[in-house]
Structure 1
Amino acid sequence: MIRLRSGAMAGVALSLLLVAVPAAVAEPEVVSVELAVRDRALQVTPLEQPLTALAGEPVRLRLDTKAIPPGTLFGDVVRMRATGVDGAAAGTEPTSVPASGGATTEWVFATEGTHTVRLDVEAYLLDGTPVQAQWHQKVEVQAARQQPMQLPDVATAPLAAAEAPPAALEAPAVAAAAQPPVATGKVTVERGHVDALAPRLIDGGLRVHVKDGSAVGTVVWREPIDVEFKVTDAARVALPDAPALSFLGAAGGQIHLLPQQEQPGVLWIGWSTEELKPADITGPVTWSLTSVAGPGPFGLFTTGSFGAHSVIFNSTDGLPDTHSVALGTHAHANWAFGKPGRYKLDFAVSATKTDGSTVQDKESYTFLVGDTTSTVTPDNNTTRDGRRNTTLASTGPAGSPAAATALALGLIVTGTAVMVLTRRRTAKETS
């Protein structure tokens, strides 16, 4: 079992079953590993000796981040993942560890011998540069303590006929990690966190799914064709006088913006390549915007600490636009729509497998922009990949705008250019 606990906060933040074991019976010593940021890189000082533990009893390792001053990393947080590399278990979900503090991992092993746990930590500098560190921690597990047993006195009785001993119970095998299934049915999401593009490798092929976390505490995987993203008038902002964003309209005009930073009441949309593993995929993933159908321009861009804008996708200057995404990325940016109405965005995602073959997928996404843009259920003229055989419907200008909101509140953020949180159906296309 692996548990990750923040040294500054109560509660268990992470749990991963390595092996089935009895409860711990002693408080183990906690050994610390220091993490620091030097020369724009995460640096860890691993232990020179392996940790030691008794089978069935916990061993603890603390990640000490006190050497990272506040304001060094975006969000003052490091993401940590512990993975059993000797066949004991699959990896954990990444968990946040506060800078200038730390967190403690707790492992329990049922069997004797040398076990290895891989620890991955990653964070982002204030300018959006990703930084990572990785090390392997060996744990020497010795035989469990033998507890003497006190047998009660029993009356002498004739021996009964001997029975065959029960068959020995086999240790439960840890099941191989399986991809969560894709839900069915049409949905409209208009608030909460959603990774709109989350590619997975399923049956050897690349499939792009929506990782829907809009309901707090749950994650539902969906086909993009089954999801309509509602951009309400709560997301209306005034377009600033910024040359990089002039393609969206005139300065001071109203646009609909799904922000890079989370804001209550509106969608917070990102993308994730956390489901793709280096053992299967080499190098970054290529993400392309191939076409846009709608009443106005569309743009995807990031905003840096001092208000500088970096455009990823611009629908007005010729498509396709292409963006490279590293494995293990979970990122957010600003999704901007110049006019209210119904938009269809076509995306293509491709990657190279470790055997040298290329895998790819293409999907269409529907955005309903503005309160007066109605939800329309796709009819029989909608193909399986979400493309319509007829012209997409769109509405006119939305109703009266909400109270004027300076875009600076939604765009000029304290932190990095990309809000990064740092992490399979038969392939439709392979080449």
Structure 2
Amino acid sequence: MRAPTKALGSLLLAAALVTGVATSASATTVTLSSGHVDVLDIDYSGGALTLDLLDSTTATAVDRAPADVVLNVPLAAKHTNVPTTPAWSFLGTGGTAWILPQSQTAGLLWAGWNATDVPAGVFQGNQVQFQLTAVSGPAGFSVYTAAGSTPTKLVDSEDGLPDTVTVAAGAHTHANWGFDAAGTYVVTFKVSGVLASNGQTVTSAAQQYTFHVLNA
């Protein structure tokens, strides 16, 4: 397990409530606006699964507590030509969405997930699952991949939650992160897996991630 960087200073507790889960914000919040970030950094160590955020926007990658980070989605991520066909309806119906792309793009976050700290053979099927359990925001949130003009939706806050994605141990993946409107989104994830040794399910604590989607 990577040694996490400890946030300095005191914590400022926020009063926001997301489907029964209290949100906390740090007085030393780090804002990330471009570069490589594994939003969901999955670790298994000492019998426990954990989620944090791996910030690779710096020269040396840093593990951060999700509550200590704000992820900016700038105006450069705004698309006004989203197809209005049914296959793309999860991005809203108006043809406009903010998208952090699955390919690295200058000036935008290159967001993904990372299970390289999950050892092979520990979990049944050599895999774990991350789950989107709640979203607070002005409109829909989704994660998807795309091959050409065909999207594959992985999670979508508009079609009922929770949504679950299977991740192979050791995998490192990037995808598109979509937001249907500008504003602040707080999204809640957790990760779980079934131990190969005894069939028991191990589940992490839920973590909340904050995205600021900008329209100016």
Classify the TM-score, shorter chain. 0.7 to 0.9
Which SS does the other structure have where 2:98 is aligned?
strand
**Alignment correspondent of 1:182:** 4
Equivalent in 59, 66, 76 of residue 234 of structure 1? 76
**Alignment correspondent of 1:262:** 104
CA drift of 1:247 comes to 3.0
CA drift of 1:207 comes to 0.8
Which SS does the other structure have where 2:88 is aligned?
helix
Same amino acid, percent of matched pairs: 37
Instruction: Give 2:71's aligned amino acid.
Output: F
**Alignment correspondent of 2:124:** 282
Which SS does the other structure have where 1:273 is aligned?
strand
Query: Residues of 2 paired with 1:228 and 1:352: CA distance?
Result: 31
Instruction: Give 1:297's aligned amino acid.
Output: G
Which SS does the other structure have where 2:142 is aligned?
strand
CA drift of 1:330 comes to 0.7
Matched, 1:220 2:62: yes
**Alignment correspondent of 2:192:** 350
Matched, 1:360 2:203: yes
Query: Residues of 2 paired with 1:297 and 1:197: CA distance?
Result: 19
CA drift of 1:254 comes to 2.5
CA drift of 1:367 comes to 0.6
Query: Residues of 2 paired with 1:208 and 1:279: CA distance?
Result: 19
Name the larger-Rg structure. Answer: 1
CA contact (8 A) 1:184 1:226 kept: no
Equivalent in 308, 319, 327 of residue 161 of structure 2? 319
**Alignment correspondent of 2:145:** 302
CA contact (8 A) 2:120 2:170 kept: no
Matched, 1:195 2:41: no
Q: Comparing both structures, which one devotes a greater share of its residues to strand?
A: 2
CA drift of 1:359 comes to 1.3
CA contact (8 A) 1:300 1:333 kept: yes
Query: Residues of 1 paired with 2:61 and 2:182: CA distance?
Result: 29
In structure 2, runs of 5+ residues without a counterpart are 8-28
Instruction: Give 2:203's aligned amino acid.
Output: Q
Query: Residues of 1 paired with 2:194 and 2:155: CA distance?
Result: 22
- The correspondence of residues 392-407 of structure 1 with structure 2, limited to 5 A, is 398-399=215-216
Query: Residues of 1 paired with 2:160 and 2:84: CA distance?
Result: 23
Query: Residues of 1 paired with 2:124 and 2:65: CA distance?
Result: 25
Which SS does the other structure have where 2:124 is aligned?
strand
**Alignment correspondent of 2:170:** 328
Query: Residues of 2 paired with 1:212 and 1:280: CA distance?
Result: 26
CA drift of 1:353 comes to 2.5
CA drift of 1:360 comes to 1.1
Which SS does the other structure have where 1:244 is aligned?
helix
Matched, 1:293 2:115: no
For residues 78-109 of structure 1, what are the alpha-carbon distances to aligned partners after superposition, in whole Å with 9 as ceiling and x for unaligned? xxxxxxxxxxxxxxxxxxxxxxxxxxxxxxxx
Matched, 1:341 2:188: no
Query: Residues of 1 paired with 2:166 and 2:93: CA distance?
Result: 30
CA drift of 1:241 comes to 2.6
Which SS does the other structure have where 2:160 is aligned?
coil
**Alignment correspondent of 1:85:** none
In structure 1, runs of 5+ residues without a counterpart are 1-178, 371-397, 400-431
CA drift of 1:203 comes to 2.3
- The correspondence of residues 136-147 of structure 1 with structure 2, limited to 5 A, is none
CA contact (8 A) 1:244 1:311 kept: no
The higher-RCO structure (CA 8 Å, 6+ apart) is 2
Q: 1:247 to 1:279 in 2, by over 3 A?
A: closer
Query: Residues of 2 paired with 1:200 and 1:313: CA distance?
Result: 21
CA drift of 1:279 comes to 4.2
Query: Residues of 1 paired with 2:31 and 2:105: CA distance?
Result: 18
Query: Residues of 1 paired with 2:168 and 2:191: CA distance?
Result: 13
Which SS does the other structure have where 1:316 is aligned?
helix
Q: Give me the CA root mean square deviation.
A: 1.4
Query: Residues of 1 paired with 2:171 and 2:45: CA distance?
Result: 19
Query: Residues of 2 paired with 1:363 and 1:272: CA distance?
Result: 15
Query: Residues of 2 paired with 1:214 and 1:331: CA distance?
Result: 16
Q: 1:180 to 1:247 in 2, by over 3 A?
A: closer
CA drift of 1:351 comes to 1.1
- The correspondence of residues 119-158 of structure 1 with structure 2, limited to 5 A, is none
